[in-house]
Chains A and B, each alone.
Chain A
Amino acid sequence: MKIRGLFYFLPIIFILALGCTSNVDPKILIGNYCFNDGLANDSLFVFADNTYKHKFNANNGKSYDATGKWKYDSGGKEVVFERFVFFNNEGPHNPPGYWVSKVRLEKDSIVRLMYSSENILFFQKIK
Chain B
Amino acid sequence: MKHSLVVAQARHEFKKRGASEPLIQYNSSFSLFHAYATSYVNMTAQFVGGARVSIIPMQGGGTKYIVDNTTDRYSYYAHLPFIQNYPRTEGVITPKSTIYQRFIWIEK
Contact = CB atoms under 8 A, between A and B. Distances in A.
B56 A94 contact: yes
A84 B50 CA distance: 21
B50 A97 contact: no
B46 interface: no
Which of A80, A86, A99, A118 is packed against the most chain B CB atoms within 10 Å? A118
B49 A98 contact: no
Given A97-B56, A98-B17, A116 B24 contact: no
Interface in B9-33: 13, 17, 21-27, 29-30
Q: In terms of DSSP, what is the predominant structure of the interface of chain A?
A: strand
Interface string B34-68: 00000000000000011110101000000000000
Contacts of A97: 21-24, 54, 56
Given A99-B25, A100-B13, A94 B75 contact: no
Contacts of B26: 100
Contact of B25 (A86, A95, A117): A86
Interface of B: 13, 17, 21-27, 29-30, 49-52, 54, 56, 70, 72, 74-75, 79
Given A101-B27, A118-B70, A119-B72, 12 more contacts: A80-B17, A94-B56, A96-B21, A98-B22, A99-B25, A100-B27, A114-B27, A116-B70, A117-B29, A118-B30, A118-B51, A118-B75
7 contacts: A86-B25, A99-B25, A100-B13, A100-B23, A114-B27, A115-B25, A116-B27
